[in-house]
Structures are given as structure tokens and as C-alpha cells.
Structure 1
């Protein structure tokens, strides 16, 4: 099954990147803790990442892939690559202009993104955030080009290099902190990390460009021109900026609100988000990345039945792995955070605060994955307006809920608001697709999903009980705590998949056959 093969490729590389990301964040927690330097770097790192996910991986990918797939399907590879070059030259010009403006007005940008820095009188943190953001922002141009080439490669069925590229960023950042820890770095650790972000962006672009060259997909940059398809691309990108990036915009809203809370709130949200990004990246992003080009090509070829089958199976695969991840993180957030991050400047109080945030964030994992899978059903039909309207409603709900809940629950209230808004986003998307006849959930999906929910709930109860059986584990050495967490994770995972197989929620033999075919094909 081509879809499973593509998801496995993207998910496998993403898993490796996330594991290295945990190593990176564990080192960062030990070096920077959750104090002012950590908060300044989080803001500096989040700023270019926001624009990357909105303009590059979000709006650009949502608009480019359907148009590129249509060109590829109807006019051939040469015409599609030529269109890629037309898009690339305009992208470079726009990103360079955005970068110059952002660097020139960086103090005002930081004031908008983290108003609490200045409001609290913490001028040192504000100045550091401006300095770090000025270093990291050029990373955006390289990542925008990487996203464009990745969309072209993915449409052609090549997922490996684009999925593997984020590994390089983590390797560079780990190396930067390693130089600091062994005393070979002259710069402060936060500045070392900022320069590492810039170098990581260059490395990622280099890898993806090399793979595009090997595949004959690396476009030449022509003179800027507004061809018919480029105009269509720009029209689709407008609403796509928000509709494809609603979770990132909500993250920025969370950062703004958290800057108004006591010191540490931004860092606690960041570390919790890093844990939550594992299932989101390995499952949600992998399925979404694999699904959009497949749906686009199927719809361009008039294969509506195949497109419906692809969407049903994608939803099924997404929930198969997201439901247990959400249940596990809700049931035992403290052991996960404590093992991953408690060391150096990151104390047990930080672990407890981050764990509350993580539990609230985990409740929103299923809807975020569902949105990532449902969005291609709109984008493949070149409809970015409907997701835009849904996204605006979701963001308004998130803002209102966050204002109300942060007064009671602090940073955890901000995370819970995003989760509740995410459920509203997913439900509204599914309802509209169903009304239009684009989401006819088949009998297999309706039969399996309730059984998967039951299996996840039972597993979550087991894990919660396991944490209650060892209340003194928090005082034990790291290796003992890590070992106990590994036992809980292994036992919970085994129970979930056994229950899913027994109840009929999943057929693991089917997944195994698909992966076996993938290995033989490769």
C-alpha cells in the first residue's frame, strides 16, 4: 500500500529527528533551565519557526502541491519543474524582503510576540531576545526554499531526504551545546544555540537541494514572472497562511499570554510542546505530508473512490497511534517530563509545572492530528477559503478560552484552551466535509474507531495505576526513574495493541504486510 509506505518513510525519519530533539531539549534544560535565557531563546527560535510553518510548510505546501501535481499529471515533469522555478524566485524575493524588515524592526516584533518581557521591566531578557532573534531569523529563507523543494519531491513520491533534513538541525544544536559544555565555546550558550539554528537551516536546505538535483527536480531561477499558475498559487496562499497554520498561530498566542505570567511559563509551555510534538510529528505530520500529494494526484486523475479510500485509511492510521499517545501523556505526564528534563537548572518544581501543561496539551493531540489529515481534503481540491474561516473561528475560541483559563490554571489553562479549540476545529472540518460528500466514513472506520478508543482508555488506566504504585520514585536516581518509565511505556504499548487486535480495532497483520511489501520494494 503506497500510502502506508510513504507514512512509514516520513514517520521513521521524523521519529529519529524527535529522539534527537529530546536529547537537544534535555541538554538545553540542563544548560538554560527555565529561566530568562531559556525564555529569550524560545521566543527567538519560535519566531522564524512561526513564519516557516505559516508561509513555507503551511500555506506554500497547501497551495503548491495541488497545482504542481496537476502540472505533473497533465503536462509532464519538465513543465512541473518550470512552475517550481517560477514559484521559487518569487519566494526568495519575498523571504529576503521579510527577513530584512524583520531584522530592522526586531525590537517591535519581540514586543508584540512577548509583551511581558518589557512589561515586567526585564530589559535584559528583552534585549537578549532581540539579539537572538536577529541571528535566527535568516534561517527562514533557507527553510522556505526547503519547503518548496520538499513539496516537489513529495509529489514525485520522494519523501526520504525532506523527512530526514530536520535531523541536521538537531545535530547542529546538540553540537553547539556540546562545545559549551566542554568549554570550547566563547559565546554564551543561548547565542551558541541561535547560531546553531542558522547553521542548521543551511544544512537542511543543502540536503534537500542535493536530493532534488539527483531526482532532476532542482529548478533554475528564471526572471520573476506572474504566470497563470503562479497567480493561482498566490491566490491560494493568502487564506492558506492562516488555515494551514492555525496550531502555530495558537502557539504564538500562547507565548504572548504566557509572557504575562510569572517567569518560567513560556519555558514550561515550550518543553511540554516538545513532548507533544513527538506523536504530532511522527503521526500527524507524516500522514498529512504523505496524503496531500496522493489526494491531489488522485483527484486530478478523476479517481474519486480512491481518494475517499485514502482519506478513510489516513484517519484510521492517525487515530490508531494518536489515541494511545494522548492517553499515556494524560495518565503519566510527570514521569515523562521528569525523566526527560529534570537535571541541572531544571528542578522538580519545573517538572511538576511542565507536567500539568503537558496533560492539558495531550488532550488536544487527537484533534490536531485529525485537522492535519482533514486539511488535505480541502487543499487537494484547491479550497483554502473554507479552512481559513474555520481557523479564524478556532483562533477566536482559543483566545477567549485562554484568557479565562489562564487566570485559574496559569500556563496549563493556556494549553487546555488550545486543546478545546482544536477539538472545535476538527469537528467543524469533519462536519463540512461530510455535508459536501467528501468524507463518507466507511463501515470499517466506524467499526474500528470506538474499539481503538476503548483500548486507549484501558491502557491509560493501567499507566495511571502504575504511577500511583510508586509514589517515591521521584526521589530515586535517574537510571531507576528512566527504567521504571520504560517499563510503563512498554507495558502500556503492548496492552494497547493487544486490546486493539482482540477487539477488532486494528489488524496489525495488515500493517505488517504493508511494511513487509515496503521493505521488499526497497
Structure 2
């Protein structure tokens, strides 16, 4: 399968997953609102969802793919079985530990939820929902092995199961009758765990079929390669989940604001629609290509691919950030304001979304730049960059939150992303792989001008439609996309030849 066709398949799968996830969160808002129960459930859901997003977007690939790339096919299959077996034991043990220490985990996730009753709910929902990590993690290891053999279909489609199961549960709950909020949240946590196990079953079935067979089970052998994988996994997961960790740090700060956890969660889910696409493409498609280039010593090709990927990232992320900032309030109101979700909650979510929109282009760039370091196996450097961004996020979110309220916490995430990008660029410069060219700079200027045209168009449209409903919001989004596409073509931010090349097989 060609790189472009692989990208399209992964992109479609990631897009479908994001759309289902977004539909799930709209139903979350309707069912749970943004009060104490919602804060408790979403705080508990944050940790398994963090794991699901990191590993589901290829967070284990930076540790697995370079190691597999150094092996012959006959030794890669049993090695993959060793990895799966050892991780099954490790993640099961971790789940048991989290369940046992759920009270302490709850306090660390949301220290601002000082009420014993609310923290007790966080602990309950953590115990019910965290076992989903077993299925999701093992399924993601299997997906990484399938991706390595260019078998993208099952790996791309299996994650859709989790969101589909939660949506089904959210639809079914009102049919049962008047279910208390606490009970609704408990059933949702159980549904997440069951869905994770179904996801694992789908990937496991794909692993047993097709050629070449990417995995063969045996009694695990403690080899240097296996030891290297285990040592690399933690920094790989931390570095791959950088943006999610920044959001987690912001969540800890937001827990000191009433409904802050919920507002941040719903706004961040909107931001993740475009960002998740970049993450999935980077880890599943760009990383294997860069790993092969690095193995062949093609440094100039790596730099060219990195610059082109940054152009693509900003071509998508900058207009998305512009639209989210301008349409923040109608998005929050139209999508979430129903059921238990009040107009005040819509105002709070919109304020957070404006702040997070500033982080979106920076987060997209970090997704690209980190892939080059992953391909080199430079996990220590990416870990340092992530920790620097995490500290910057926490400090900035706390300081800006005291100055500007909940929107300041969101701006703290943007500060963390900016710090992360700067550190990644510095690390790439040290190894001679950071060389932005004139073409990249010129393309960024053109993308910024096209985004400015989009901003002016949306601003004028909002004057004519101050309180758009669902149809008007959809019209604004479609019209904004068309306006940006035309402006991008006219200004040269993207060319017809590039569009035609993208549509052809590579």
C-alpha cells in the first residue's frame, strides 16, 4: 500500500474516531452536565483516556518500530510475541495497583476537588474504568505490529469500538428510566472497560491472520532487545503523550475552579478533532518512513520530509485554530448546551476553547518534530523536552489562571506547547536535522495570510449571525472551509499540482 493511500486510510480512521469521540462527548454533556458528578467522572476518565489516546495514536511505535527495523523477519515475529506477553503482565499489574490506590490517584488527578464525596466518586469511577487500559494498551501494541507490516485496516478501525460502545450506553441509559447521575457515570465507566477488551479481540484476530504473520507466541526470552524495549517504553509514552500531559497538568489546576475540570475537558475535545488527525498520521505513517530514511542514512531526505510535514501541519492547524477562536461560543452553545449542560457552562467552555486555540498550531508542530527524534531513537531528548513543557504548562496555567480565570489556564497549555516545540527544535539542531528553508518560511506566511482572510470572513459572518443555531454553525464551518481553500490556492499556500500529487498513488 502506498504512503498516500496509507495516509488516507489512517486519516479516515482517525477522523472517524474523532467524530465518534466528539459525538460521545456531546452526549456526555447532555447526560452529566458540568457539575460535581461530571467533574468526578471526567477526572477519572481522564487517566484511561490519556492512555488510550497516547497508545492509540501510536505512542508505543517510537519504541517498537526502530527495534523491529533492525531485525530480520524471522526473528521479529517471536520477538513481537515476547513484547506482547511481557506487556500483558505489566499492564495487568499496573491496573491492580491503580485499583488498590484509587483514592490517592483521585487526589493526584484533581487535587482541587476537596469534597470527600466528590473524591470518593473519582475513586469509584477510576476502579470501574481504568481496566480498559489493559485492552487498549495490548491492542495498540498489536496495532503497531500491524502498521509495521503495512496492514493498517484492523489497526485503524479497532479503536472505533470504544467510542461506539460509550455512545450506545449513553443512548440506552435514558430508555431505562430516571437514572441518577452517579449511576449513569458508573455504567459509562463499565462500558469503557468492556469496549477496551473488545478492541483487543479485534486486533488479536487480525494478528492471527494474513501474511506475513507479525507475531508468534512463546515463553518470553529476556534478550537485550526486549530489555531495550522496556527501558524505552516509558520515555516513548511520555514523549508521545506530551500534549495530553500538558492538558492533564492544566486539569489539576482547573480542579480548583467550580466546573473547571468539565469545561476544560469539553473544550479540549473540540481542539482534539484536528490535532488527533496529525498525531495518528505522524505516528502510524510518518514515523515508519522517517525510520527507514534514518536507517539508510538519508539525512537530507529526512530534513525535506520534516519541512514538508510542518507545512502540512500548519496548513491544517492554523485555519482550524482561527475558526475555533472566532466560533468558540457558538460551538460550545450549539454542541453542548442541552440537558444538564447550562448556558453558564457554555460560556465557560467557550472561554477555555479560545485559550486552547492558541495551542493548536504549536501542538501540531510538536507532533511533527517529535517524529524525527523518535525515528533516531532519541527518546531521552524527547522526554526532556516533554518534561520542560510540562513544568512550563503547570507554572503558566497557575499564574495565568489567577490573572485571567479559566481561560488563563488554557493559555498555560499554549505556553507549555511553545516550550515543547522550542526544545524539540533545539535538540534537532544539535544533531543537524533542524534546517527550515526559505520555502517553508514563505509557505508559512502564505498560510497565515489565508488564515487572516478566513478570520475576516468569519468575523463578518458572525456580525450577521450573532447567535447561530446548528444549521447556521454548519454553514459557517463549510463556508469558512471554502473561503480558506480558495484563499490558500490564490495565495499559493497550496498548489493545484500538490493537490493532484496527493491524490495520485506515490
> Normalised by the size of structure 1, how large is the TM-score?
0.91
> Cα 1:357–1:489, aligned 2, differ >3 Å: closer, same or farther?
same
Are 1:147 and 2:134 an aligned pair? Answer: no
Are 1:316 and 2:281 an aligned pair? Answer: no
Deviation (angstroms), 1:272:
0.2
Structure 2 match to 1:35 = 35
Q: Which of 455, 466, 472 matches 1:484? A: 472
Give RMSD over aligned pairs. 2.1
Is the CA contact (8 Å cut-off) linking 2:250 and 2:393 kept in structure 1? no
> Cα 1:309–1:207, aligned 2, differ >3 Å: closer, same or farther?
farther
Deviation (angstroms), 1:59:
5.5
Q: Deviations over 1:470-496 (max 9, x none)?
A: 22x26xxxxxx1111112111211111
Are 1:170 and 2:163 an aligned pair? Answer: yes
Q: For residues 341-490 of structure 1, what are the structure 2 equivalents within 5 Å? A: 341-471=336-466, 473=467, 481-490=469-478
- 1:225 is paired with a residue of what secondary structure? coil
Structure 1 match to 2:123 = 130
Distance in 2 (alpha carbons) for counterparts of 1:125 and 1:220: 46
Structure 2 match to 1:335 = 330
Q: Which of 264, 272, 279 matches 1:269? A: 264
Is the CA contact (8 Å cut-off) linking 2:162 and 2:195 kept in structure 1? yes
Distance in 1 (alpha carbons) for counterparts of 2:179 and 2:140: 33
- 2:87 is paired with a residue of what secondary structure? helix
- 1:20 is paired with a residue of what secondary structure? helix
Are 1:498 and 2:486 an aligned pair? Answer: yes
Structure 1 match to 2:76 = 80
Deviation (angstroms), 1:296:
1.0
Distance in 1 (alpha carbons) for counterparts of 2:255 and 2:434: 40
Distance in 1 (alpha carbons) for counterparts of 2:475 and 2:322: 16
Unaligned 5+ runs, structure 1: 475-480
Are 1:240 and 2:236 an aligned pair? Answer: yes
Q: Deviations over 1:301-348 (max 9, x none)?
A: 333343333222222221111111011111211111111111111121
Distance in 2 (alpha carbons) for counterparts of 1:458 and 1:493: 11
Distance in 2 (alpha carbons) for counterparts of 1:63 and 1:185: 47
Distance in 1 (alpha carbons) for counterparts of 2:484 and 2:87: 45
Is the CA contact (8 Å cut-off) linking 2:57 and 2:279 kept in structure 1? no
- 1:380 is paired with a residue of what secondary structure? helix
Unaligned 5+ runs, structure 2: none
- 1:221 is paired with a residue of what secondary structure? coil
Q: For residues 48-67 of structure 1, what are the structure 2 equivalents within 5 Å? A: 48-52=48-52, 60-67=60-67
Runs of 4+ in structure 1 displaced over 6 angstroms? 184-187
Q: Which of 100, 110, 114 matches 2:110? A: 114
Q: Deviations over 1:349-388 (max 9, x none)?
A: 1111101100100110111111111111111111111112
Structure 1 match to 2:226 = 230
Structure 2 match to 1:25 = 25
Distance in 2 (alpha carbons) for counterparts of 1:154 and 1:201: 19
Q: Deviations over 1:38-80 (max 9, x none)?
A: 1121122112233445678666322111111222xxx12x321
Is the CA contact (8 Å cut-off) linking 1:3 and 1:310 kept in structure 2? no
Deviation (angstroms), 1:458:
1.8
- 2:493 is paired with a residue of what secondary structure? coil
Deviation (angstroms), 1:298:
2.2
Structure 2 match to 1:90 = 86
Q: For residues 252-331 of structure 1, what are the structure 2 equivalents within 5 Å? A: 252-262=248-258, 264-331=259-326
Deviates more, 1:481-490 or 1:504-513: 504-513
Aligned residue-pair number: 503
Deviates more, 1:272-281 or 1:61-70: 61-70
- 1:115 is paired with a residue of what secondary structure? coil
Is the CA contact (8 Å cut-off) linking 2:310 and 2:365 kept in structure 1? yes
Deviation (angstroms), 1:149:
1.2
Distance in 2 (alpha carbons) for counterparts of 1:129 and 1:419: 27
Is the CA contact (8 Å cut-off) linking 1:56 and 1:148 kept in structure 2? no
Deviation (angstroms), 1:129:
1.6
Distance in 1 (alpha carbons) for counterparts of 2:443 and 2:309: 13
- 2:297 is paired with a residue of what secondary structure? coil
Q: Which of 499, 502, 505 matches 1:511? A: 499
- 2:338 is paired with a residue of what secondary structure? coil
Deviates more, 1:266-275 or 1:3-12: 3-12
Deviates more, 1:107-116 or 1:182-191: 182-191
Deviation (angstroms), 1:285:
2.8
Structure 2 match to 1:159 = 152
> Cα 1:211–1:185, aligned 2, differ >3 Å: closer, same or farther?
farther
Is the CA contact (8 Å cut-off) linking 2:32 and 2:38 kept in structure 1? yes
Deviation (angstroms), 1:235:
2.8
> Cα 1:32–1:131, aligned 2, differ >3 Å: closer, same or farther?
same
Deviation (angstroms), 1:509:
4.1
> Cα 1:68–1:185, aligned 2, differ >3 Å: closer, same or farther?
farther
Deviates more, 1:7-16 or 1:206-215: 206-215
Distance in 2 (alpha carbons) for counterparts of 1:48 and 1:8: 28
